[in-house]
Amino acid sequence: MRAVCARFHAAGPVLMACVLTVSSSGLKGASAPDGARIHLNDSIVGVPVAGAATQAHVVRTALTAEELAAPVDFVVSLRMRNFPELEARIQRGETIPKTEMESRYLPLAADYERMASWLRAQGAMSTLADKNHTNLFARGSVSTLSRAFEVTFARVATADGEFTSAVTAPSLPGAFSGTVLGVGGLQPHIRMHTQALQESEGTEAAGDVTPADILYAYDGSVGNDTKGNPIFGSGQTIAIIMDAVPLETDLTAFWQAADINDSLSNYSLVNVSGCPSSAGQTTDDGEVTLDVEWASGIAPGAALRLYAVPSLNGMYLLAACTQILNEGLATIVSQSAGSLEVTDSAAGLQAASPRATQPRIPSRWSTLPATRT
């Protein structure tokens, strides 16, 4: 299972290191002679031309005019500098000042702008700026990206449906050799999934485990301060990432049934790179409702921000993490979905988490089910 913004408690520079640090080890095809193109072989996963209905496979290589004109959201991730040193310092529990991150570890702002200028020249449009100049989020048509990255797209079928995805590795001009880690988002058929939920109907909490029960079990305070405001979670901001949005009426009904002193004034919605698709809303509305209800129920004194993404593709999750870091508000981040590391590209794993520098070796998340709130 990949660890993308998966429940960590950190803020400022430490949060930045957890999410946006990227490793340069193990990637192939990242250098080229002057004038040649660099082939980012680890930016995609191979797709067979035939396979079981539940496994990704190519169903058609010729694309229609409409499919060629369809937009694709993607990200170009730059390499961190002196990454092994940075990772060792983080493992020792150090907090790295922003000034030192800039001077020694983050990609150079000049390299970020050079790549951004090239993408604009190819016809791609920026969708999200990264204050840490590490990831360039952009959008372009299939035909635009096919030409810019010299990549082949095809129709790929999975259990989730059909997608227009890259089936060959992208490449870049040799001038970018050594600065680019990989290109993500070119295979939208690769995505995380939530666990199936068995929902029960009811409006009363009697006989059920409530947030107050959990707080009591962990010696958390269930009381209010002298002004009547909830104590637990006070001064904290919880960020939740999901490809669906709960009904506000469900939230207020949960708070009332569980006797939670919370209100919608503590809850805000942030759409990232668009908004959830109808498919995500249908599949994951139960999961996101559970996440928001129990996060707010356990910590009613905290502000809660839901970062809604179009799908659980790793590129969108990275965009949500980038948005969270840009704002600098969240002290706790939760994302409740998962997938096998072997289903994603090596570059995608490394762009998302410094823990995943060897994506074919199980990480500490691999033995867990999808992360839950």
Residue 59: closest CA among 199, 169, 154: 154
366 inside domain: no
Tell me the H-state helices in 218-302: 248-257, 278-298
pLDDT score at 219: 74
Question: In this structure, are 93 and 164 located in the same domain?
Answer: yes
Q: Which two tokens stand for residue 65?
A: 């005019």
pLDDT score at 215: 81
- pLDDT band per the 50, 70, 90 thresholds, residue 35: low
pLDDT score at 211: 86
Question: In this structure, are 125 and 238 located in the same domain?
Answer: no
Question: In this structure, are 160 and 266 located in the same domain?
Answer: no
Residue of 5 and 34 predicted with greater confidence? 34
Mention every residue, 6+ apart, whose C-beta is less than 8 A from residue 33. Answer: 174
87 inside domain: yes
Question: In this structure, are 243 and 344 located in the same domain?
Answer: yes
Question: In this structure, are 152 and 227 located in the same domain?
Answer: no
10 inside domain: no
- C-alpha 163/C-alpha 233 separation (Å) is 41
Residue 256: closest CA among 193, 313, 300: 300
- C-alpha 356/C-alpha 4 separation (Å) is 10
Q: Which two tokens stand for residue 310?
A: 């179009």
15 inside domain: no
Question: In this structure, are 143 and 60 located in the same domain?
Answer: yes
* 155 neighbors 163 (Cβ within 8 angstroms): yes
Mention every residue, 6+ apart, whose C-beta is less than 8 A from residue 190. Answer: 45, 56, 165, 313, 314, 339, 343, 344, 345, 348
72 inside domain: yes
| Averaged pLDDT score across all residues of the chain | 81
pLDDT score at 39: 95
Question: In this structure, are 235 and 99 located in the same domain?
Answer: no
- Residue range of the domain that includes 351: 211-356
* 181 neighbors 22 (Cβ within 8 angstroms): yes
pLDDT score at 356: 35
Question: In this structure, are 173 and 232 located in the same domain?
Answer: no
Question: In this structure, are 177 and 215 located in the same domain?
Answer: no
Question: In this structure, are 46 and 126 located in the same domain?
Answer: yes
- pLDDT band per the 50, 70, 90 thresholds, residue 258: confident
Of 63-77, 81-95, 244-258, 339-353, the one with minimum mean pLDDT is 339-353
Structural domain tally of the chain?
Answer: 2
